[in-house]
Chains A and B, each alone.
Chain A
């Protein structure tokens, strides 16, 4: 039995190794191929860096260590310092030995002594691409040249790192090079974080902004807010679902890199420490609304002159009226054009607005003398007494087909509590509706 099992095991391993054989040349210790390099007695070491312009492109940042060896070989190691891993080079996934390789020799070009350095990328099959011939000139003992290297090996898209060096060595070893070029990640200012175990993090800032990092690269921006129900988050203007479990809250975010999409689940262990964000006075109110079966963000900016800008996909100019904690929007639909004309009839025009500039869609609201009647959905109603900032929910209503008569049923006395005196004095079981005004029916 043992022999049988050993045989199976051996066969399996052979099969696996055979399948993987194409990868052996992709190992870090690449063989030199091509013409034999000429032996040189001196050695040189160069270094250079490239940093991509662009906030999201730090993954392209790299430092290079070029060794011109005594045997005439030239080897370039690449260190992706933008990934903040300064561990030992031998096991460091961000350190690629022999990223480019080739030969070098001392030559005279157009009558000037210089170092000729030939470099190329070799793929796993040994095919060469992105070959370059470089010349480095002696400037007071210092040599330099611009090294072009492929961003995607084999393709013509390249970046350029200016390499400078000298005879001998710049670094005692590769780890010293890593230490010299390592970068330290500085997290953005924040008051709380959602993160996962791999270090992907959403930083919540005091002003309600949120910055989402995949590792060390910011790849998305969003907003956060708090209300009684918990934390609300939107990314790129689109609300995302936040799941809560006691004090713990999580949300998922997708990151696209090339052909690949990754999903991160980011968690905050204690959202109770989150203060309400300091929302700017003129910041728009935001709510999640449903359009065409899809949730999206509505933004409402209220101007002092009674006009407002209401945005759901597109901007819609309108006017507003504050009724208690609600605002009711109105617009001349005939003057809305294009996309705005399509959206306006299909989206709520009444919202309860909150101090943190969140808002919630409701059916409608009516000014009813000293009261405000807020129709929360098709049956539920909230009654507010704005001058005392008092409110009660638990009312129900029906609206006549012509929309002119509102019948209201008050909750029981226990629910009404102290509000019952206000309701008895100012309320009514039946109201006559004109626009957004309710008058007690005769």
Chain B
């Protein structure tokens, strides 16, 4: 072949490759973040300051030491959180050597946690058999039964991790006729206890079916929280087997964070029932410890367990309801961010018509009004609805209360009580203090609702058998206030009689108060003890003391009128009648129907750019009037390291942020999907952030060691804040020990969850503490403070009113300001105000028609002005979700976005807009604050170099190679042509 021909062929080839390489640069650059994550490519180099201060150091010498501590801690949490609900004839505890035959395929396939972003791997989790063999002795569990379940085709199906839906849930219990005869013959040898495990999973993206017709073949009435027919059949047969002596006892473990409908526990000869929630990695040991009597149960349930889950008034409006005229507006919905409607998410709504009457606030209040024959309570029978009241939990011993006393001490009360352990075994006991505030004519006129009792204090102590412990609990007056959204438009402490009491549960508490009031005992369910109550009479109606933030001194007034159909003018006459104790039957919730009005569209539902632009202009005018251009991208010598651990009001924050060019700021704000971007202009290191809340999720899904703790409700049910504090420290330690392949630290956690259990069916109840926001707040405060103590900033999630999964992307959540503040924000308030939490994760949903991250009242009014939050607020996963518009967010107080997508970069080109730049700088300042108070600062005043990842270098090299080869080829081609001439 002639040389000239070779170059004639090669030159165009090189040229084409050159073009391909050049074209690949912009395409791959736009996907750089994703490619970097996929390839584990290093994007920053941190050159630590020599001799830098190390702000956060592990308290454990080795990772093994930490792991051993965590395994025991998870076991302890479960053993103190599991609540004994039934123990007939002292069935429990059981002797060592007891033989068990497990029943249900879930006994083999225990539920360790939920699914979704907070999923935990069961790889290293302890099985029921392993735990029982250890505690009761080797061979305590029927091995043949165990093998049978290991190899059965029946298996509980959880909804897919994400991208799942309600229709995927299956109980799939083994039908009784599939137990082989040979297997049945083994039961008598393991007949001390038939151990039934009832498991129900929950997870992100899919609420539990609460009456789904398509699931009726698989579960009773399509309701996942009821016994399915195979389980009923199993219990019926076990009852017979107990009668014929094959089994001596039937013990049930409720392995679920979603409260099963407990309409069956008084049937089938069931001897004992223990609620265990999701048990985490080693929690099943704790369960075995309780059954063996090694630990005296002391858990107290943090939800009302119902006989009829649909008796809860919230069930009338639980789900995603379509605006009736949505089609006129071209609306769309998305359940996950791969769904086509993800950029709109404006078709659904839900109305919290029950107001404050969630969980025990409803059942106990309706009950009191029935007893006192008022409020059109009807012929209400408490125990038709309730199986076990909020706060309930048995022990292997008995406790007796005496010397109850309440003393006013300025802004608080000292509540004292003596508790005697009257039984024969030692045991821990939680004292729960409840209060009742007066329900007045003012309340009726101004539609202020009052629950019959609310929990306001607790403490837990070990009490030795026969001994008495004195409890002294501080109750803050601020916790007695109500939010008056019509009259005073702030928190009020009304004049009148306030009752305090100690109750073994919420029902016991209300009975004590009824006894003190001299109620007709014939109408009561249970008995009360007036001696265990204290009354405090407030002589003046106080609407000023609590009208300013105790944290910031700023006024507190209505911020959520646009989330209340009765106040939002844009609803154009669409109103809602909230459930009221003035007329229980007359205000009973019904499923609501709404349509979109032009104003609702314009105020937040719009998906048109012009509409969104109009909202931006309105927000600028309202929240940044007369904004002037701040200093931007100025030269300066301050580094992030200079502000490590600096106070929030340090003037250098503003100076630091002014040094950051606009493009670096938007890069930081846009790209927060599980990380923060490095900011070279101020040497702020990039970090990794990871999911919680049961632990450090990334490691739990494969990586360095970490512990999966129990579901949050089990944590709360311990009422043991020392355990919670230890756990928070350990979660922080797990982050402290982890780095990614490039050496970047993990310094932020997406958790804990502080929403409430509005109904038993929310897919993510396992990530939330309780139906009671106050309890959630007390527990989250301790957990958050402890996590942050190890140099990890928190994003308490999902802020706010994200109490269901259906329609979660963009659903309009309508409620009233009293319920919002008294129920749904309390968990977060505890996290931030009491726990010093630096951040939150805003939620997918809307408040009214405004996406939560764009709700100025929520993101600035509450978080900053009332609670004084100092760090960053991240969004929930925002990939593709254009409705989470960056402009709305920064103007409202949102700081960081959990994911970016093309076409979403709405802050681009706005670097001359004074309001936007000011808001962007605020956001950057908040992010800097979080990182500068984390163990990412252990590098000191480091130099941060942004590194071009290796794959981009390779691409540039290829361009160089092909450019040279093309030129060379062209040269040789021309040269050979000349020679031939």
Closest B residue to A341 using CB positions: B598
* Smallest CB separation, B599 vs chain A (Å): 4
Inter-chain contact total with CB atoms closer than 8 Å: 227
Instruction: List A contacts of B408 (CB < 8 A).
Output: none
* A124 interface residue per 8 A CB criterion: yes
* A130 interface residue per 8 A CB criterion: yes
Q: Report A6-20 CB contacts with B as 1/0, cut-off 8 Å.
A: 001100110110111
Q: Report B28-41 CB contacts with A as 1/0, cut-off 8 Å.
A: 00111110011111
Contacts A26-B39, A338-B570 given; indicate if A127 touches B741 (C-beta within 8 A): yes
* A413 interface residue per 8 A CB criterion: no
Please state if B328 and A337 are interface contacts (CB–CB under 8 Å).
no
Please state if B601 and A339 are interface contacts (CB–CB under 8 Å).
yes
Q: Report A45-57 CB contacts with B as 1/0, cut-off 8 Å.
A: 0000000111111
Instruction: List B contacts of A256 (CB < 8 A).
Output: 880, 901-903
Instruction: List B contacts of A137 (CB < 8 A).
Output: 150-151
Contacts A156-B690, A258-B901 given; indicate if A54 touches B702 (C-beta within 8 A): no
* A311 interface residue per 8 A CB criterion: yes
Contacts A54-B336, A123-B39, A338-B598 given; indicate if A129 touches B31 (C-beta within 8 A): no
Closest B residue to A218 using CB positions: B340
Please state if A337 and B599 are interface contacts (CB–CB under 8 Å).
yes
Q: Which of B603-611, B774-782, B906-914 is the interface stretch?
A: B603-611
Contacts A153-B38, A339-B614 given; indicate if A23 touches B965 (C-beta within 8 A): no
Q: Which of A72-80, A288-296, A395-403 is the interface stretch?
A: A288-296
Instruction: List A contacts of B38 (CB < 8 A).
Output: 123, 152-154
Instruction: List B contacts of A260 (CB < 8 A).
Output: 27, 30-31, 902
Which residues, 319 to 364 on B, are CB-close (under 8 Å) to A? Answer: 328-330, 335-336, 338-340
Instruction: List A contacts of B901 (CB < 8 A).
Output: 256, 258-259
Select A56's contact among B30, B165, B340, B610, beta carbons within 8 Å.
B340
* A197 interface residue per 8 A CB criterion: no
* Smallest CB separation, A302 vs chain B (Å): 14
* A189 interface residue per 8 A CB criterion: no
Closest A residue to B600 using CB positions: A338
Q: Report B550-577 CB contacts with A as 1/0, cut-off 8 Å.
A: 0000000000000000000010100000
CA distance A296 to B124 in the complex (A): 57
Please state if A57 and B598 are interface contacts (CB–CB under 8 Å).
no
CA distance A237 to B329 in the complex (A): 10
* A229 interface residue per 8 A CB criterion: no
Please state if B117 and A258 are interface contacts (CB–CB under 8 Å).
no
Instruction: List A contacts of B603 (CB < 8 A).
Output: 338
> Which of A52, A257, A339 has the most CB atoms of chain B within a 10 A radius of its CB?
A339
Closest A residue to B956 using CB positions: A19
Q: Which of A34-42, A175-183, A313-321, A375-383 is the interface stretch?
A: A313-321
Closest A residue to B696 using CB positions: A156
Please state if B146 and A111 are interface contacts (CB–CB under 8 Å).
yes
* Smallest CB separation, A134 vs chain B (Å): 7
Instruction: List A contacts of B146 (CB < 8 A).
Output: 110-112
Please state if A22 and B951 are interface contacts (CB–CB under 8 Å).
yes
* A228 interface residue per 8 A CB criterion: no
CA distance A55 to B143 in the complex (A): 45
Instruction: List B contacts of A237 (CB < 8 A).
Output: 330, 608
Select A259's contact among B34, B123, B965, beta carbons within 8 Å.
B34
* Smallest CB separation, B681 vs chain A (Å): 23
Please state if B702 and A129 are interface contacts (CB–CB under 8 Å).
yes
CA distance A311 to B119 in the complex (A): 45
Q: Which of A157-165, A166-174, A267-275 is the interface stretch?
A: A157-165
Closest A residue to B904 using CB positions: A256
* Smallest CB separation, B353 vs chain A (Å): 25
Instruction: List A contacts of B329 (CB < 8 A).
Output: 311, 314-315
Which residues, 140 to 169 on B, are CB-close (under 8 Å) to A? Answer: 143, 146-147, 150-153, 160-165
Select B611's contact among A60, A259, A313, beta carbons within 8 Å.
A313
* A187 interface residue per 8 A CB criterion: no
Instruction: List B contacts of A215 (CB < 8 A).
Output: none
Please state if A309 and B328 are interface contacts (CB–CB under 8 Å).
yes
* Smallest CB separation, A131 vs chain B (Å): 3
Select B598's contact among A129, A156, A291, A340, beta carbons within 8 Å.
A340
Please state if B150 and A114 are interface contacts (CB–CB under 8 Å).
yes
Please state if B701 and A156 are interface contacts (CB–CB under 8 Å).
yes
Instruction: List B contacts of A130 (CB < 8 A).
Output: 701-703
* A425 interface residue per 8 A CB criterion: no
* Smallest CB separation, B663 vs chain A (Å): 16
Please state if B968 and A315 are interface contacts (CB–CB under 8 Å).
no
* B176 interface residue per 8 A CB criterion: no
* Smallest CB separation, B879 vs chain A (Å): 7
Q: Report A224-241 CB contacts with B as 1/0, cut-off 8 Å.
A: 000000000000110000
Instruction: List B contacts of A160 (CB < 8 A).
Output: 160-161
Please state if B703 and A131 are interface contacts (CB–CB under 8 Å).
yes
Q: Report B116-138 CB contacts with A as 1/0, cut-off 8 Å.
A: 01010101100101100000000
* A27 interface residue per 8 A CB criterion: no
* Smallest CB separation, B690 vs chain A (Å): 7
Closest B residue to A114 using CB positions: B150
Contacts A152-B38, A256-B880 given; indicate if A315 touches B328 (C-beta within 8 A): yes
* B594 interface residue per 8 A CB criterion: no
Instruction: List A contacts of B127 (CB < 8 A).
Output: 109-110
Q: Report A332-354 CB contacts with B as 1/0, cut-off 8 Å.
A: 00001111101000000000000
Please state if A156 and B119 are interface contacts (CB–CB under 8 Å).
yes
Instruction: List B contacts of A292 (CB < 8 A).
Output: 610
Select B697's contact among A111, A138, A156, A294, beta carbons within 8 Å.
A156
Please state if B153 and A139 are interface contacts (CB–CB under 8 Å).
yes
* Smallest CB separation, B761 vs chain A (Å): 19
* Smallest CB separation, B81 vs chain A (Å): 25
Contacts A129-B702, A259-B32 given; indicate if A159 touches B163 (C-beta within 8 A): yes
Contacts A125-B741, A259-B31, A261-B903 given; indicate if A54 touches B599 (C-beta within 8 A): no
CA distance A53 to B163 in the complex (A): 6
Instruction: List B contacts of A54 (CB < 8 A).
Output: 163, 335-336, 338-340
* Smallest CB separation, B882 vs chain A (Å): 9
Closest A residue to B953 using CB positions: A19
CA distance A26 to B35 in the complex (A): 13
Please state if B957 and A20 are interface contacts (CB–CB under 8 Å).
yes
Which residues, 96 to 133 on B, are CB-close (under 8 Å) to A? Answer: 117, 119, 121, 123-124, 127, 129-130
> Which of A15, A54, A309 has the most CB atoms of chain B within a 10 A radius of its CB?
A54
CA distance A9 to B7 in the complex (A): 14
CA distance A260 to B29 in the complex (A): 9
* B960 interface residue per 8 A CB criterion: yes
Select B902's contact among A258, A314, A316, beta carbons within 8 Å.
A258
Q: Report B10-41 CB contacts with A as 1/0, cut-off 8 Å.
A: 00000000000000000100111110011111
CA distance A128 to B688 in the complex (A): 17
* Smallest CB separation, B108 vs chain A (Å): 9
* A120 interface residue per 8 A CB criterion: yes
* B94 interface residue per 8 A CB criterion: no
Top 8 closest A-B pairs, CB basis? A339-B602, A131-B702, A19-B957, A127-B741, A123-B40, A261-B902, A22-B950, A57-B338
Binding site for A on B (CB under 8 A): 27, 30-34, 37-41, 117, 119, 121, 123-124, 127, 129-130, 143, 146-147, 150-153, 160-165, 328-330, 335-336, 338-340, 570, 572, 598-599, 601-603, 606, 608-611, 614, 674, 690-691, 697-698, 700-703, 740-741, 879-880, 900-903, 950-951, 953-954, 956-958, 960-961, 964-965, 968, 972
| Additional A-B contact list (10), CB under 8 Å, known A130-B703, A338-B603 | A16-B957, A111-B129, A111-B147, A112-B147, A112-B150, A114-B150, A127-B40, A156-B119, A313-B608, A315-B329
30 pairs, CB–CB < 8 Å, chain A vs chain B: A12-B960, A16-B958, A20-B958, A23-B954, A26-B39, A57-B163, A57-B336, A60-B338, A124-B41, A125-B40, A127-B40, A128-B703, A130-B701, A132-B701, A133-B123, A139-B151, A157-B162, A159-B160, A256-B903, A259-B33, A294-B609, A313-B601, A313-B610, A313-B611, A314-B601, A315-B598, A337-B598, A339-B598, A339-B614, A340-B602
